[in-house]
Each structure stands twice: as structure tokens, then as C-alpha cells.
Amino acid sequence: MKNKHNIGDKVLFSGNEAIALGAFEAGVKVASAYPGTPSTEILENLCTYEGVYAEWAPNEKVALEVALGASFAGARALATMKHVGLNVAADPLFTAAYTGVKGGLVVVTADDPEMHSSQNEQDNRNYAYAAKVPMLEPSDASEAKEFLKTAYRISEEFDTPVLLRTTTRVAHVKGVVTIGAAESSSAMLGIEKMPEKFVMLPGHARKRRVELEKRLARLREFAETFPENRIEWGDRQKGFITSGVSYLYVKEAVPGASVLKLGMAYPFPDRMIREFASKVQELFIVEELDPFIETHVRALGIMCKGKELVPAMGELNSQIVRNAITAAAATDLFTPVAIPMRPPNLCAGCPHRGIFHAISKLKVFVAGDIGCYTLAALKPLSSMDSCVCMGASIGTAFGMEKALGNDALGKIVAVIGDSTFMHSGITGLIDVVYNRGFSTVIILDNRTTGMTGHQPNPSTGMTLSGETSTAIDIEALCRAIGVKHVVSLDPHQHENAVNVLRQEIERPEPSVIITKAPCALLPEIKKKKDKKLYTVRAKNCTGCRSCLKIGCPAIEWVPLTPEEAKQLGYKETQKGHSYINPVMCIGCGQCAPLCKFKAIAVVGEDNG
Amino acid sequence: MGKTTNLFLCGVGGQGILLASEVISSACMKAGFDIKQSEVHGMAQRGGSVVAHLRYGEKVFSPLIEPGDADIVVSFELLEALRYLPYMNRKTRVIVNTQKILPSPVATGVDTYPADVLDQLTQRGITVFPIDAFEIAKSAGETRAVNMVLVGALSALLPLDEKIFLEVISERIPEKIRKKNSEAFLKGKEAIANLKR
């Protein structure tokens, strides 16, 4: 579909779309990933190109292993993930640095400074240093495409995996990208046995360890003449060393300054850095998050200014850079006015709302996980008590249980989404069964990966490219692991959900509750024809606000003055009434049983 | 070098801001400008406040508009215009869709929706173009085309040919709803032209 463009055409692409195009132009044959903001769109786009196999793996570790295998077979291969995904994939990465590659291998890590959609703000440039692999860092979409192609050449020339790091403001920024020519790898496809290279027994690994150091030395030399490490001479009063999107902020904030732009974030071109530093009066390092460049520059014995001026937390922008570097007078800005917050919320009709409302009745500790449902931690549901990383719900619940012993029975539940369970929840559940726990695990099966924009996963029976596949049966899987009590229920049925929960949390054995209802944003729900929408029978509403406790965006509170209340036939003391917005209601019915006064009814049946 | 123009779009997740900003950026690119368009995906989209930064000119570096530096703000929802006040200055022109989408603290009766959003802007010397984009979209026969009404409204303040926008809309919008979206665009443009008169 994307192949419709001709060489030389200019297109408006995000960094992620550009990386997909770059992968196609680089002749990538195999690409594997787990969705994660801000990296998801790379594979969603790449799967539309002809001749590329692209898949969603259950997690990032598997994704990188699949890409590494493809490389062993001589194909150019790609693994993409968000920053925290590389923690999961770090195990294969560190040893892939030893084996090296056959076909070019690139790992894209998409970092999220400011944590727009993440649980932490780690700076993955540190992985390049720790794993001893080169890292390229583009500043915009156009560079992202070109750098990815360059990364494959480096990978094959130096026999190493290459990291390509983006950040949210590269991955999700659209810019002008030019369609280029396709190239191909010089590696040959086929099976080749090279145990000393591919089998990392200690004896082999020790030899590869030496090779790794030699390779790094060659890469350091390469960095000195690599055209994407470049000096832009300007005013020599102030000189800036920078990389990635920070380069753009420097260019915007201090036009005409001298800049050393590092297209390769690791290893560093030491001679180039020394030369640049020696020719500017004052040296500044501008980088988002950690003092990665700064620490190296200081280790070279070069005086510079960095994190004492530029924040080490959050995103930068040109104003932050300008204010940090220059003594610019503060501009006369409007101050913010106090207005109601608009926090993200579970959608109208979201099945997660039903189960979290039921859980909130139990007064238990809810060990949560990563997904849309993490929003249940916010008011008014306020029913999640911990959230750490993908799959952590089960392990943390079990750990609490082991610490508290029998006192924990009936007091803790783990809650995890279907895709997250496939990612890394299964092993946690195995621990519970194996080590004689009694944890209650609630798996929220909404038949998709919701938060990242509805990707299929191993339990949905659909692949990235839309082919039907075997749907992993979560219920059967849990039983096969050894969980004897596995119950499925409809989370929209409040009473039943509460009863089942009460019964299962008291069980002194492991149990799994699977809530089955599709995400309200899936086409099968959105396009459903005979939806029974709900409405508020105005005369029955007493203004008790019970229905507002589930925080459904379709239910609104209409405040009334005493006169208005009187006019509408209410008691003068009634402060308002509820209203269901017919445009937003999707007819899930969760709200109806909450009303003791039978004021919530199906539209058309509201005259009784 | 020519000045970079800063367009700031804000509203509520689900209002079609991302598509609107794509149409505007594509039009700028077709007109021969360099462009950077920045937005955030993921958690923010679940009914939260959403923004897009669009910068076009001869050569654009930073993808982000600095606080106080927006030339034009298009607010897809009334209250959101006030939330991003720090991005405006006294010369900023602000197109406001007067449609209200209640934020959850208001919907649940914990907080109240401010009654004087437009006044608060004009009191600060900001030029405001209020339009009811939902009603206009309805009159074009497609209530989901609120975003194209606002693209049309914005186009009335940009030095870009109407044809370019209509061309982009015909490329980006599926055929079934293309005509109504083009109409929504034109009606939005007309609404601003009437206000300017």
C-alpha cells in the first residue's frame, strides 16, 4: 500500500512512518515487536510494505530473539520497542553484542522523556554503553529514515547489532521525508553453522569478548569520520555538543552558534570533541535526560556546562534551552488560569469499569498492571493500588501474600490485561501455582491491546497483517499451568461479578477470573446496530449521585438552583439530577443497577 | 530566513484533532513549506486534553511551539482554549469551537464549568473567533466533521489556497464522506470570513 510512492517523492511522515520506510528501503526481511508508545506505528506501517514479514511478538525479548534469528539466517532484521521494552529485551541484546550478526540487525528503542505514556523516564543511551553496541540518534523523521539505512550498513560492516534511539518528539513528529531507492544486504541467506560465533559457551564467549573490544575500537575510529557526527561552525563564543531532538532546540534557541551534532550517540568521536572544545570559548552540552554526553566529555578532562543549567528531567524545548544558556529576560507570558482538569478516563461502555467497580466493593489491595485499565487508579473508581511494569501484578500480589501469610487471604487481587498476561503474566502465574500460593488473578480479556491503539495479540486469533491465527485459549492455558479454579464472567453484569469475586478471593488456592467483554472502541461494538441506549427518567432521579461513582463519561451531573429544581417538579433542596448523554452512551448497562430509584432505563422503556 | 508560523491545536481526545492537523500539515507541505507537526499518542487520548503543535516556514527546526509563541490557536472545545493560555500572546488569534465537552470533574459534579471562557480571553486583548463548529458540521450533514469545519476556519487565516486544502481532503478522507467533509471545510471557512467582516 505504501509502495505507491516514486523515488524522489516528498511525503509527510512521522519518525515512525519514516523508520518503516527506511526498513523497506534497507531491504529488511523480518521485523518483530511488541506495541508500546511511542514505537507502535513502526510495525503497523511496515506490515503494509510488500516483501517484509512483520509480526507482533508476545514481548520484546521474543521480538529481539526473532530478529536475531533472522539475522543469523542472513536476512536484514528489525526489532522495535519502547524504552522499557528494552529492559525486557536486554538479555538477548547483551549477548547478541558478542555473537554479532550475519544479516544486519537493528533494534529501535523509542524513549519517552516527560512520560507522556510511560511509567518511567529511563535514558536508553545508557544501554549502548552497557551492551557495548553502537547507537545512532536521529533528530527528525527525515534523519530517522536515513539513519536506519546507515545502521544496517554499520551492522554488517562491523558485525554488530546497532541501536537506533528515538524519543517521543522524533517518533511522533511529522516532517517532510523523501522516498529513496531500495538497497539490499551483501549477506547471503542460508543456514551456516558457526559455533564459535553463535554458541556463547564460556570458552567461545571469552574469544568473542576480545573481538567485541576490537570492534569498539574500530567503531571509535569510524565515529571520527562518520558524516553524521558533524561540526557546524558559527559564532565561537559559545559551542554546543548535542544530539537527537535537542539539536533542533539548540538551532532554534541559539541561531548561529557553533554546534557539534552527534548523529552517533555511542561510541564517541574523542578527537572531534577535543578539536571542537578547543576552538570555542565556552562549551555547553545540551541533552535530554541523563548527562550521557557530558559525563564522557568531562572524563576526557574537558571543562563544560551541562546539567547544572539544563534540566535532567522531562522534555526540553527551545525556550528551556534558551533560558538555561543565555541570560535572556523572562518573556511576559500569560499565567495559567485555574480551570477544571481534564484527566484521561476509561471510555463510555468500557468493560474494565464494570470489574473495577465490582472490585471496589471488596476493599482489597489491587496489584495492577500496564494498560488502559491502569486508569482505574484515578477517581472516582480509585481501585488500583500498585502498577510497576508489564506483568508485575501477579508477582507483586504473590510476594505480598508470602510476606503476610494467611492474613493475606481475601485481601489481595492481581489484575492484568489479556495482552499483558501474554507478554509476561504467565510466568508469574506459574510461580503462584508452583509455590503453593492462593492468589486471585483477574485477567481482563477485552480481545485487543487497547492503550496502544488496538493491536491484535496471541489471544485474539489475528496477526499483525490481519491473517487469522490460532487464538491462545487463556482459560485452557491457566488450567494447563495447574490453576484448578478458572471462572469466566461478563464484567457488565455487576451483581454476578461481585459474587464471583467474593467467592474466589476467599479460596485458599490459586484462582483465575477471566472477564470477557470486548473493548468498547472495537468496530464490532461501535458499529453494532441494535444497541439499547440508556436514559435517566427525570422524575425518578433523586440526585443521590450513586450513578456518578463509576465515572462513566456518558453520565453527567446537571446542577440545579432551588428555583430550577422546583420548576422541574423536584424538591427545592435537590441540588441537581443525572443525565445520560445519548451521543456517548453505548448501552453497556453498567449504570442501571446502581440506581435504587429505577431512574435509569433503556430508551423507549422509560415511561414506566 | 522567513519567519516560522506557529499553529497550536487543542481539544479533547476523540475529536479528530490528529486528522485535522495532518490535513493542515499536508496542505502546508503542498504549498512548498517545510513543516513539523508534533503530537502525543497513547494514554492522553482516552478522553484527556490533546494538543498538536504545527510549525511551518522556509526551514523549521524545533517541533515544539514555545509558550507565548502561538500565532494562531484552534481550540476544538471551549474550555480547552483557556487551558493553553500560556501558549498565547496579545497578538495571537484564537478560533474557538464553542461546543462544550464536560471534563470528568465537571460531569461528576465535583467542579464547575467556567461561564466566561471567551471573556477571559478577550479581556487579555486576544482576538477571538468563536464558532459553533458542531452546528456547522450538522448543517453540512456530518456531525463527525467538526474537525474539518475547524480546518476550514483556520484556512481563512492562512495564506494558503483553498484548492490545496480541498485536494488534501479528497486524498485523505474516504470517498463516502468526502463531499460532506469538503462542505464542512467550506462552511467553516465562511464562518470566519463572516466574523472578520
- If DSSP states are collapsed to H, E and C, what string results for A538-560? CCCCCCCCHHHHHCCCCEEEEEC
Neighbours of A51 (CB within 10 A): 10
Give the C-alpha separation, A114 to A288, whole Å: 10
Indicate the residue of A174, A318, A337 with minimum beta-carbon distance to B82.
Answer: A337
CA distance B190 to chain A (A): 27
Q: Which of residues 123-152 of A touch B (CB under 8 A)?
A: 140
Indicate the residue of A249, A339, A555 with minimum beta-carbon distance to B82.
Answer: A339
Domains of chain A with CATH codes: 2-225 (3.40.50.970), 229-325 (3.40.50.920), 351-525 (3.40.50.970), 529-602 (3.30.70.20)
Q: Give the CB-side neighbour count of residue A183, counting CA atoms within 13 A.
A: 16
∠ CA A556-A594-A552, rounded to 5° = 35
Chains A, B: CB pairs < 8 Å: 166
Domains: count for chain B: 1
Q: Which residues of A touch B88 (CB under 8 A)?
A: 334
Helix (H) or strand (E) holding B32: none
Structural domain containing residue B93: 5-196
pLDDT higher than threshold 60 for residue A107 = yes
Q: Which of residues 21-80 of A touch B (CB under 8 A)?
A: 37-38, 40-41
pLDDT higher than threshold 80 for residue A546 = yes
How deeply is B4 buried, as exposed, middle or buried, from its count of CB atoms within 10 A (0-12, 13-18, 19+)? buried
pLDDT in tens, A23-69: 999 999 999 999 999 999 999 999 999 999 999 999 999 999 999 99
The SS3 assignment for B140 reads coil
Nearest to A163 by CA among A217, A54, A85: A85
pLDDT higher than threshold 60 for residue A516 = yes
In percent, the amount of chain A with pLDDT more than 70 equals 98
Q: Annotate A203-219 with b (16+ C-beta within 10 A) or e (fewer).
A: ebeeebeeebeebbeeb
Give the C-alpha separation, B42 to A455, whole Å: 13
pLDDT in tens, A160-213: 999 999 999 999 999 999 999 999 888 999 999 999 999 999 999 999 999 999
Q: What is the mean pLDDT of residues A492-512?
A: 97
pLDDT band at A330 (very low <50, low <70, confident <90, very high): low
The pLDDT, as a whole number, for residue A530 is 83
Question: Are the C-beta atoms of residues A214 and A256 closer than 8 Å to each other?
Answer: no
pLDDT band at A4 (very low <50, low <70, confident <90, very high): confident
CA distance A348 to chain B (A): 10
Q: What is the mean pLDDT of residues A304-328?
A: 94
Question: Are the C-beta atoms of residues A263 and A166 closer than 8 Å to each other?
Answer: no
CA distance A175 to chain B (A): 5
The pLDDT, as a whole number, for residue B48 is 87
Nearest to A579 by CA among B78, B46, B105, B109: B109
* Edge-to-edge strand list for the sheet holding A135-136: A53-56, A30-33, A77-82, A105-111, A162-167, A135-136, A264-266
pLDDT higher than threshold 70 for residue A80 = yes
pLDDT in tens, A470-487: 999 999 999 999 999 999
Give the C-alpha separation, A410 to B42, whole Å: 34
C-alpha cell at A527: 458499529
* Edge-to-edge strand list for the sheet holding A365-367: A365-367, A412-417, A440-445, A511-516, A485-489
Contact state of A553 with B61 under an 8 Å Cβ cutoff:
no
Q: What is the mean pLDDT of residues A90-105?
A: 98
pLDDT higher than threshold 80 for residue A331 = no
Question: Are the C-beta atoms of residues B124 and B90 closer than 8 Å to each other?
Answer: yes
φ, ψ at B147 (rounded to 5°): -65, -40
* Residue of chain A whose Cα is closest to the Cα of B115: A339
pLDDT higher than threshold 50 for residue A552 = yes
Q: Which residues of A touch B29 (CB under 8 A)?
A: 10, 12, 176
pLDDT band at A329 (very low <50, low <70, confident <90, very high): low
Question: Are the C-beta atoms of residues A245 and A167 closer than 8 Å to each other?
Answer: yes
Q: Which residues of B touch A318 (CB under 8 A)?
A: 61-62, 64, 66
Q: Hey, CA dihedral for A376, A378, A384, A386, is it positive or negative? A: positive
Question: Are the C-beta atoms of residues A35 and A190 closer than 8 Å to each other?
Answer: no
Q: Annotate A504-538 with b (16+ C-beta within 10 A) or e (fewer).
A: bbeeeebbbbbbbbebbbeeebeeeeebebbbbbe
Q: Which of residues 395-434 of A touch B (CB under 8 A)?
A: none
CA distance A412 to chain B (A): 26
For chain A, how far is it from start to end, CA to CA, in angstroms?
Answer: 54
Question: Are the C-beta atoms of residues A381 and A353 closer than 8 Å to each other?
Answer: yes
- The overall average pLDDT reported for chain A is 95
pLDDT in tens, A344-364: 889 999 999 999 999 999 999
What residues in chain B have per-residue pLDDT under 50?
Answer: none
What's the pTM value of the predicted model, to 2 decimals? 0.96
pLDDT in tens, A361-416: 999 999 999 999 999 999 899 999 999 999 999 999 999 999 999 999 999 999 99
> Is there a cis peptide before residue A38, judged by omega within 30 degrees of 0?
yes
- Tell me which amino acid residue A119 is: Q
Contact state of B89 with A334 under an 8 Å Cβ cutoff:
yes
Specify the length of chain B in residues: 197
DSSP A114-175: T-SS-S----THHHHHHHT--EE--SSHHHHHHHHHHHHHHHHHHTS-EEEEEEHHHHTEEE
Contact state of A347 with B47 under an 8 Å Cβ cutoff:
yes
- Tell me the pairing of strands A257-262 and A229-232: antiparallel
Q: Could you tell me the CATH number of the domain that includes residue B82?
A: 3.40.920.10
The pLDDT, as a whole number, for residue A1 is 47
pLDDT in tens, A220-254: 999 999 999 999 999 999 999 999 999 999 999 99
